[in-house]
Amino acid sequence: MVPSLQGTWKDIPFFKLYPLIELKDIKIIPSLFDLGIEWVQIREKEENFDNYLNEMMKFVELANKINKKIIINDNVEVAKKIKAQGIHLGQEDMPPEKARGILGKNVIIGLSCYKLDEIEEGLKNPFVDYIAIGPLFKTPLKDKKPVGVDILKNFIGKGKIIVAIGGINGENILDVLSTGVDKVAFIRFLKDILKR
């Protein structure tokens, strides 16, 4: 369990939280679901997904039973193998239309957008379900210029799910949520909580 998460963010609507976790942390997925979190993204840059396929498939099956989503970052092949509920793509990854052709119509497809033209193109793309806009704040994980919180307000209610990402923590999350954003993605803050 991760009880400190509930204590730290007791006033936060958990269904809006979108934690991005590494393969080594996937055993916490049921606990995150228990807290009311609906989406969990699995990120891995070391290309060792094969060692975790069976375990990930169990979590995907669990997610199906309780109407939650396991979303795989970048790796369309792995998403197909484990029948994940979603895939998250970067601007340099496989095009969303190709991913849709491989994964089918029921898989949620997300796209990272860092600039205004990328956001506008993503909103028009019929193969994309959600747009991740960021980084909102300065973060060591991205060398992109922060776009700020106010940009979110321009794209909420435009037909796509809007996800905020980048440098979000316990000090600024309420400001982010006040924009009406659909989901708030975070990486480092979850790691800080797990260390406690």
Query: Which CATH number fits the domain that encloses residue 66?
Result: 3.20.20.70
Mean pLDDT computed over every residue of the chain: 90
Cα–Cα distance measured from residue 17 to residue 164, given in angstroms and rounded to the nearest whole number:
10
Q: What is the DSSP letter of 92?
A: T
**What pLDDT shows up at residue 145?**
86
Question: Whole-angstrom Cα distance, residue 189 to residue 11?
Answer: 16
The whole domain housing 186 covers 3-195
Tokens coding 64: 């199906």
Average pLDDT over residues 142-161: 91
How many residues are given for the chain? 196
Strands 39-43 and 17-22: parallel
The pTM (predicted TM-score) of the whole model is 0.91
Question: How many folded domains does the chain comprise?
Answer: 1
110 three-state secondary structure: strand
